[in-house]
Amino acid sequence: MSYLFTSESVSEGHPDKVSDQIADAILDQFLAADPDSKVACEVLVTTGQVVLAGEVRSRTYIDVQSVARAVIERIGYTKSEYGFAANSCGIFSALHEQSADINRGVDRSDRSDQGAGDQGMMFGYATNETKNYMPLTLDLAHSLLYELAAIRKDPATPMPYLRPDAKSQVTIEYDNAGKPVRIDTIVISTQHDNFVKPSNTLSEAEADAAMRDRIHQDVATILLPRVKALYKPEIARLFDGEMKLLVNPTGKFVIGGPHGDTGVTGRKIIVDTYGGRASHGGGAFSGKDPSKVDRSAAYAARHIAKNMVAAGVADEMLVQVAYAIGVAQPVSVYVNTRGTRHVPLSDGEIALKVQELFDMRPFAIEQRLKLRHPIYEETAAYGHFGRDPRTEIKTFTDEHGHTFHQEVELFTWEKLDYVDRIRTAFGLN
């Protein structure tokens, strides 16, 4: 019997994502000036206000207010009518020194023995359902909002009423074999200007209906064709004539962003990862330097799962790794191929080979994936996984106000750089 599965995404202007992006931009500034910085930054945004809190150990000083305002401006909150604007919001910082008790469990004279920054379990996942080895429901949900933001930022935008806050949701029908059959439902909720107002001849309900009709039409005729064009024909055909499209189901979405909802870092962990298709250990990513295994080990687990699936070990793979605070070696590594493996080994035997192929000590992960570089602001919207690895030159400001540039590799955990050695290890050459 077929079944339905749903994933959601949120835009860069969603209040929780605003918080995540500010936190990761601050982290990047610290790492750019001092790669050994230890950072755990939490952010809250609400009407006209940003609150920064957390722990930092670093040899540099950062103008956190300027960093936060630059992120808010980049996202698009630049008008006072939004109730939250880059040049006028208040910013309160309560960042303070990292606990010495935590630091003593992490730092070692031999850096290869660096302990985990906390206990906990982290998960990585991959599936060959899409070319980037991500669940299709989530990949589509991200693409819808990424394209919607591109339309909003286009100087010649055909949807000039768009505001930064938005959410998407994609429901796909799968057959008994777990293969996608069709898209059942797409939901788009996008913040917008109040571009049709009541008048002597138009009631408030009629004005709201006119706005929703225009937005629905534009989503159907502008946004969806752009998203379909991103995918191969076998995916594009899933947008069939029976697909339900729900746009701004409440009828109106003018009040949004931090003015409409308070945002906090770390509240979109399923959007950040696998859209509900894989387990999650509960630890958020943004604002945390890579000594925090919540982040670095989750990236390493994704790197393992993606390379293993790409190598042909299985069609789908879930990897769990767990740590004790202050201890370098993980306490466990677990693999579940969900019955899709193509090698004559049990999942437990595959897990043993994973431990032979990948050094999962925190410092080894940092070195393998180049995580001590300022690479994190780009991860904080549209998902941490399924992204294209690339090299960019980023610009930063030092504590004296001077700008400098760094070349960095983004999304290194998405590289398929272990495929050949995995095939050799599993006899798949």
pLDDT, residue 319, reads 98
Q: In angstroms, rounded to a whole number, what is the distance separating the alpha carbons of residues 40 and 285?
A: 10
Known binder of ligand: residue 398?
Answer: no
Same domain as 315, residue 226: no
Known binder of ligand: residue 94?
Answer: no
Same domain as 219, residue 92: no
What is each CA distance from 397 to 31, 32, 208, 400, in whole angstroms?
12, 9, 45, 8
Instruction: Evaluate if residue 427 carries a pLDDT over 90.
Output: yes
Q: In angstroms, rounded to a whole number, what is the distance separating the alpha carbons of residues 404 and 33?
A: 9
Same domain as 179, residue 82: no
Instruction: Evaluate if residue 111 carries a pLDDT over 80.
Output: no
Domain for residue 296, yes or no? Answer: yes
Task: Read off the pLDDT of residues 312-370 as tens digits, 9 standing for 90 and up.
Answer: 999 999 999 999 999 999 999 999 999 999 999 999 999 999 999 999 999 999 999 99
Least confident span in 60-69, 108-117, 274-283, 323-332: 108-117
pLDDT, residue 297, reads 97
Known binder of ligand: residue 55?
Answer: yes
Helix (H) or strand (E) holding 40: strand 38-46
- What percentage of residues in the chain have a pLDDT greater than 90? 91
pLDDT, residue 103, reads 54
CA 296 to chain centre: 14
Same domain as 49, residue 80: yes
Instruction: Evaluate if residue 8 carries a pLDDT over 60.
Output: yes
pLDDT, residue 412, reads 98
Known binder of ligand: residue 53?
Answer: no
pLDDT, residue 99, reads 66
Could you list the beta-strand ranges (E) of 233-284: 244-247, 263-264
- What 8-state DSSP symbol labels residue 324? -
pLDDT, residue 97, reads 86
Could you list the beta-strand ranges (E) of 134-179: 162-174
Instruction: Evaluate if residue 75 carries a pLDDT over 60.
Output: yes
Instruction: Evaluate if residue 101 carries a pLDDT over 80.
Output: no
Known binder of ligand: residue 306?
Answer: no
pLDDT, residue 117, reads 81
pLDDT, residue 110, reads 62
pLDDT, residue 114, reads 84
Known binder of ligand: residue 36?
Answer: no
pLDDT, residue 18, reads 98
Known binder of ligand: residue 167?
Answer: yes
Same domain as 393, residue 277: yes
Same domain as 413, residue 278: yes
**How would DSSP label each residue in 350-363?**
HHHHHHHH---SHH
Task: Read off the pLDDT of residues 376-399 as tens digits, 9 standing for 90 and up.
Answer: 999 999 999 999 999 999 999 888
Domain for residue 226, yes or no? Answer: yes
Domain for residue 75, yes or no? Answer: yes
Same domain as 405, residue 297: yes
Known binder of ligand: residue 98?
Answer: yes
pLDDT, residue 106, reads 63
Is residue 398 within 8 Å of residue 147, measured between CB atoms? no
Q: In angstroms, rounded to a whole number, what is the distance separating the alpha carbons of residues 415 and 83?
A: 41
CA 5 to chain centre: 20
Known binder of ligand: residue 267?
Answer: yes
Known binder of ligand: residue 12?
Answer: no
Domain for residue 227, yes or no? Answer: yes
Known binder of ligand: residue 206?
Answer: no
**Looking at residues 177-195, what average pLDDT do you find?**
96
Known binder of ligand: residue 367?
Answer: no
pLDDT, residue 102, reads 55
pLDDT, residue 108, reads 53
Task: Read off the pLDDT of residues 13-29 as tens digits, 9 standing for 90 and up.
Answer: 999 999 999 999 999 99
Give the chain's mean pLDDT: 95
CA 56 to chain centre: 23
Q: Which domain holds residue 41?
A: 15-107
Is residue 23 within 8 Å of residue 371, measured between CB atoms? no
Is residue 152 within 8 Å of residue 76, measured between CB atoms? yes
Domain for residue 115, yes or no? Answer: no
pLDDT, residue 100, reads 60
Known binder of ligand: residue 347?
Answer: no
Domain for residue 266, yes or no? Answer: no
Instruction: Evaluate if residue 107 carries a pLDDT over 90.
Output: no
What confidence tier does 237 reach under pLDDT thresholds 50, 70, 90? very high
For residue 360, the domain's CATH number is: 3.30.300.10
Domain for residue 267, yes or no? Answer: no
Domain for residue 114, yes or no? Answer: no
Same domain as 396, residue 277: yes
Q: How many domains does the chain have?
A: 3
Same domain as 157, residue 233: yes
- How many CB atoms lie under 10 A from the CB of residue 280? 17
Same domain as 175, residue 68: no
Q: Which residues fall within 8 angstroms of residue 101, CB to CB, at 6 or more apart?
A: none
Max mean pLDDT range (96-105, 345-354, 395-404) = 345-354
Same domain as 83, residue 24: yes
Same domain as 403, residue 335: yes
Known binder of ligand: residue 415?
Answer: no
**Looking at residues 41-64, what average pLDDT do you find?**
96
pLDDT, residue 399, reads 84
